Amino acid sequence: MVLLFRLIVDGETFDVDKDGGANHLTWVSGPNAGYGFTLGRSDGASLTEDEARAAIRGFLASIDPATGYVAEDGVL
């Protein structure tokens, strides 16, 4: 994996890595080590910082504050 960039979004830190056609977004400041999510683009390109920020905001909105994981139904 190659680290593309580190972002701080809404006070939370994420590393954005590229591995083949996948972009891995790891929640560095989150309560669960190594937790995050993966996104791919149909063209295999890396995410832009703006795309990553938008995806991270959606991810954070789905987090259950009691567990630090995505809510079971994906909705809070």
Place of tokens 């960039």: 5
Residue with tokens 């560095």: 28
pLDDT in tens, 21-67: 899 999 999 999 999 999 998 898 999 999 999 999 999 999 999 99
Query: Which tens digits make up the pLDDT trace of 3-20?
Result: 999 999 999 999 999 998
Nearest to 3 by CA among 28, 30, 32, 29: 28
State pTM to two decimals. 0.91
Domain spans of the chain, in order of start: 2-70
Does the pLDDT of residue 73 top 80, yes or no?
no
The larger pLDDT score, comparing residue 72 to residue 10, is at: 10
- Residue 22's identity, in one-letter code, is A
Tokens in use for 67?
């567990």
